Amino acid sequence: MINREWHLLSRPVGWPKAEDFALVEAEMPTPGEGQVLVRNKYLSVDPYMRGRMSAAKSYVAPFELGKVMQGGAVGEVVASNAEGIAVGDHLLHFFGWREFAAVDAKNAVKVDPDAAPLSTYLGVLGMTGLTAYAGLLRTASFKEGDVVFVSGAAGAVGGQVGQIAKLKGASRVIGSAGSDEKVKLLVEEYGFDAAFNYKNGSVSEQLREAAPDGIDVYFDNVGGDHLEAAIGRLNTHGRIAICGMISVYNNTEPAPGPKNLARLIATRGRMEGLLVGDHYDLQPQFVQEVGPWVASGQLKYRETVVEGIGNNLEAFLGVLRGDNTGKMIVKL
């Protein structure tokens, strides 16, 4: 049997191009001692993967040239050499971008397809959900009554941040997104108090109109003009959680920083970066609190599903373009 997998051939300069990648036919992996063979059913593509395509030193090792890439995946065990895991079990692991994966059992987590759809373990109940939960409640030190602004609010992380803030007692939640359709989703389905299309005008002016009394928390997924606008509206002792800066990921030159950083002095504002890997201790609390919200429909989520391993790259590029509403998922 043949196992198809995506390899990185060259490190992209600017926007990734098709010729930087190849869909390769490889031999079917054989699970060793303590391993299982998983047939992947759903793959995750995420903005952070763009950073791993660069050779620059970062918080995670870059993808190796000529070798299969990695990413979140959930699938069914088809062979097992690991105690406690049987054929037919479903696992969450980190060996995506391929159809089949030999996975160390210790590096995988059992998931229950009867408790929630398998795809949700890559999104609303997975890494993106925990990112939203930890970033808002721990990094941004959210408290009841806060006014919260979320950029990229129709994405997998942003949509959950806004809804969790509302469920936790925010006085006002504001989101930005890249289309009028997404703005409608934020207000009518996700329950945001206000939202705007950043393509329709100045982000600073639109945020000022949506948050006349300023903001207490900014959850940043975009960077650039959104970060500058948020600093400009930050209230005294406001907090900014930097989760992502998708607006600059494909820049070939360093992006200029916000011109108004000095305002953090007057507001005694705090800005802190966020990596979900630092907060896995919150996983049990996250599942215990968010799981029932999802099951009851109090916390809504969307998925953009792309079919087939052959479209994995296009799904990833779609995330960078902002094509997705909610979590981008590749279904195999």
- Mean pLDDT of the region 228-250: 92
Helices and strands, counts by H and E, the chain = 9, 15
Lowest-pLDDT range of 186-190, 205-209, 291-295: 291-295
pTM reported for the whole predicted model = 0.87
Closest CA to 23 of 45, 5, 36: 5
pLDDT given for residue 58 in this prediction = 81
How far is residue 25's CA from residue 4's CA, in Å, rounded to a whole number? 5
Note the pLDDT of residue 276: 92
* pLDDT given at position 298: 95
Strands (E), the chain: 2-8, 21-27, 35-44, 73-80, 90-93, 100-104, 109-111, 147-150, 172-177, 194-197, 215-220, 234-242, 270-273, 303-307, 327-331
Arithmetic mean of pLDDT over the chain: 95
In DSSP notation, 205-271 reads: HHHHHH-TT-EEEEEESS-HHHHHHHHHHEEEEEEEEE---GGGTT-SSPPPPPTTTTHHHHHT-EE
The backbone torsions φ and ψ at residue 321, rounded to the nearest 5 degrees and listed phi first, read: -80, -15
Residue 219 has pLDDT above 90, yes or no: yes
Does position 330 have pLDDT exceeding 80, yes or no? Answer: yes
Query: What dihedral angle (degrees, nearest 10) is formed by the CA atoms of 83, 84, 90, 93?
Result: -60
Q: Hunting for tokens 């971008």 — which residue is that?
A: 97
Average pLDDT over residues 65-93: 96
Mean pLDDT is lowest, of 185-189, 256-260, 312-316, for: 256-260
**What tens digit of pLDDT does each residue of 49-69 get?**
999 999 988 888 999 999 999
User: Is the distance from CB of 269 to CB of 239 less than 8 angstroms?
Assistant: yes
Q: How does residue 40 score in pLDDT terms, banded at 50, 70 and 90?
A: very high
Distance CA 267, CA 211 (A): 16
For 2-16, what is the mean pLDDT? 96
Query: What pLDDT score does 252 carry?
Result: 66
Q: What digits encode the pLDDT tens for the residues 128-163?
A: 999 999 999 999 999 999 999 999 999 999 999 999
Half-sphere exposure of 143 (CA within 13 A, CB side): 5
> CA–CA distance from 66 to each of 49, 53, 85, 147, 195 (Å)?
16, 12, 31, 47, 43
* Helix (H) or strand (E) segment spanning residue 128: helix 127-134
- pLDDT (tens digit per residue) in 166-176: 999 999 999 99
